Amino acid sequence: MEQRVARLVPLLFFLLPGQYAEACGTSRCCLQDPPYQNTDSGFPPSSASGPRDLNCYRILSACYECSWEYDGPAAGVSHFLRCCLRPGHCCYFSVGSATKLQFSEQDGVSVFQNVTLWVESWAANRTEKSPKITLKLHSSVKYDPPRPEDIKVSLSAGQLYLEWETPARKDGAEVQFRHRTPGSSWKLGDCGHQDDAGFESCLCPLEINEAQEFQLRRRQLGPGAQNSPWSNWSSPVCVPPEPPPQPNVSFLVKPLGPDGRRQVTLQRQLPQLQLPEGCRESKSGAEVTYHLHLHMLSCTCKAQARRTLRLNKTLNLSGAAYDLAVFSRNRFGCGPNQSWHIPAHTHTEPGALNISAGANGTTMSWAVWAPGLTYCIEWQPQGQDKSPANCILTVPKDQASAGTATHHWSRASGAMGQKACYHITIFSSARPEKPTSWSTVLSTYHFGGNASEAGSPQHMSVKMLSPDSVSVDWVPSLLSTCPGVLKKYVVRYWDEDSNQVSELLVNPTETQVTLGGLRAGTAYSVQVRADTATLRGAWSQPQRFHMEIQLSESSYLPIILASLGSFLSILLLGVLGYFSLNRALPHLCPPLPTPYASTAVEFPGSQGKQAWQWTSPADFLEGEEESLKEGLVMMMPCEKAKVADLDTPSPLKDKTELLRGTPEPALDTELPLEDRRQVQGHPQARVLGPSGQDSLEGSPAQVAGLSLHLGN
């Protein structure tokens, strides 16, 4: 019943214009004629100036609004909103120079029936009209745009993805967007119909290396809402350039100061961003910030090792090793970074740390800077920089009273127990949770284990330089590999006769010394040891050497002459003995005859065919003796001589075979003295064997020692 009454009230205004003509005002729709003439005159709707883009809609349950745009000077212009239920039944609202009007159903406008509305603008004695619209005001609802703080912006496959929560009771909307870059005009885009309940989204283009400004608007979409008005454009949604520009950054590291900290100066040149007009305010979303990521590499046992800072110009850091990274951050997250490494401060301070090792373990002490500090002790074997160092956090007690801080390790812990060189660094901090609060207390080297025995020099050698001096060399001590640990070498030597000991000091960088003033003919021994600032080293094994007696140059000449005379005498005796032996050798050892050069084995032709028969050695000797007495010699030419063929069977051969078969006489049979002389006087005499060769084997003449001489 109330809704029907509400619908009849506007109709009464249109049906009874005369009764309410005097009631015109700015808050109600006046049924009288407008206070200007020629209402139908003026520029056509397509004119370049005048009112345009009229929208009328419901904004609350019983409140309505009409808004429009006006092109032209705002001074001296009066706007009138005209409303007609049907021709001849119209009213108007006098708005003045404003371009927006709110009214309710009680102001005389029908909201449940189609109403035609337009705007007439009066300026300079002329009227300009906007295009007319016809709609039911109650069904025309204007949606609200999404709030920028509710819009989430992300990157998706090279595009921008915008998402927000749907306003209450305003589902099923159509969404549009517009965007622009610095110095460009707006470009319109469509997000489409939103079907998802509770959330709406839009996929927008991404401009590379440029910032963008986006705005969104919504309108009702559904049955009876074909002419629903668009919402206002949302506040700017700003998008930073992607990828973000990188700054030019460099670092300058100063030496470590007396406070144990070094100043790191940052030299930077940040890029200047070009932003669209709506994104030039702070915290608009298009800004790019730059940060510094700090990572303290030393003292890994501390609670906090990393921290992110704003990109300031100066940092105060300890002498530890750090990794620095400068990176950009925008609404999409962190961009690529630029990294630097600051190495650890390697300057050592010998003597600043007192270390003592005993049966109960190792104890170290150092000077206290301030009470209540937390100390980080870090040690690492030399040459193992790539492996993590050992460290321990400690808060020493009674720091203020003693003036020194002390820390003790038991032998069971194994800390610095190996015979090796260790690099020890101590840091301090009043706020250990902050990586930028640490300071370097000291940095030094220490040789672990039994340094006295490990540092003893090895492989000594002694070389003679002169009759009274020698050079002593040795291999460098293991302590020399530890910077600042080895302080000196001590060389001592003594003669074994009087045991008088002398010592020499040698610089730690030298491994050779010359010993002078030594006595000839004396035996000496030498030793070397390596000392630290607080520890005396162990002596090396004694090296014994003897100083020989050296002769003068004038005494060398007699020795050389005597040696030369002896050599020449031996050579002369050898030459004389050689020639004497050559002259006496033919007499001592006469040459033996050559069988083939003698004619003793040749037989005349008549004798070669005779058969010789010797019945006994006596017959042979008798015949031989007679032949020798007669001295019968037969001479014949060589070319006519015929050698008997002893291989041809003959009576002589048979006789010889028979003669071999006779029994051998006793070996001790002796020839007469005269026969022996004849045999000795004929050295070329030979015994003729069975085959015509010289042989005594198996014949009676061999056994008796006879020589048969057969002439031609």
What 3 state SS string does 580-614 have?
HHHHHHHHHCCCCCCHHHCCCCCCCHHHHCCCCCC
Sheet arrangement for strand 50-60: 50-60, 63-71, 100-104
Q: Say what the pLDDT of residue 586 is.
A: 78
Q: pLDDT digits over 511-558, tens only?
A: 999 999 998 889 999 999 999 888 888 999 999 999 887 655 555 677
pLDDT, greater one: 414 or 301: 301
Q: Say what the pLDDT of residue 461 is.
A: 93
Which region, left, alpha or beta, applies to residue 36 given φ > 0 means left and ψ of -120 to 50 means alpha? beta
Cβ atoms within 10 Å of 34's Cβ, excluding its own: 17
> CA nearest 120: which of 73, 79, 91, 67?
79
In degrees and rounded to multiples of 5, residue 411 shows phi and psi of: -65, -30
Q: What one-letter code names the amino acid at 424?
A: I
Q: Say what the pLDDT of residue 212 is.
A: 94
Helix (H), strand (E) at residue 322: strand 322-330
The first and second tokens of residue 125, run together, are: 């004695």
Note whether 45 and 123 are within 8 A (CB). Answer: no
Q: Is 128 exposed, middle or buried (0-12, 13-18, 19+ CB in 10 A)?
A: buried
**pLDDT beyond 60 at 9:** no
Q: pLDDT digits over 134-183, tens only?
A: 888 888 888 889 988 899 999 988 899 999 998 876 777 899 999 999 99
| CA 278 – CA 214 distance, rounded (Å) | 9
Cβ atoms within 10 Å of 88's Cβ, excluding its own: 8
Burial 265-298 (b: 16+ CB within 10 A, else e): ebeeeeeebebbebbbeeebbbbbebebbbebbb
Q: Positive or negative CA dihedral for 85, 91, 93, 96?
A: positive
**pLDDT beyond 60 at 43:** no
Compute the average pLDDT of residues 430-451. 88
- Confidence label for 417 from pLDDT (cuts 50, 70 and 90): confident
Q: pLDDT digits over 57-74, tens only?
A: 888 677 898 999 998 888
pTM: 0.59
Q: pLDDT digits over 583-633, tens only?
A: 887 777 776 666 555 555 555 554 444 444 544 545 544 544 454 444 444
The first and second tokens of residue 187, run together, are: 């470009």
Note whether 704 and 665 are within 8 A (CB). Answer: yes
Compute the average pLDDT of residues 481-494. 91
Q: pLDDT digits over 214-261, tens only?
A: 999 998 876 655 667 888 899 999 999 988 888 899 989 999 998 999
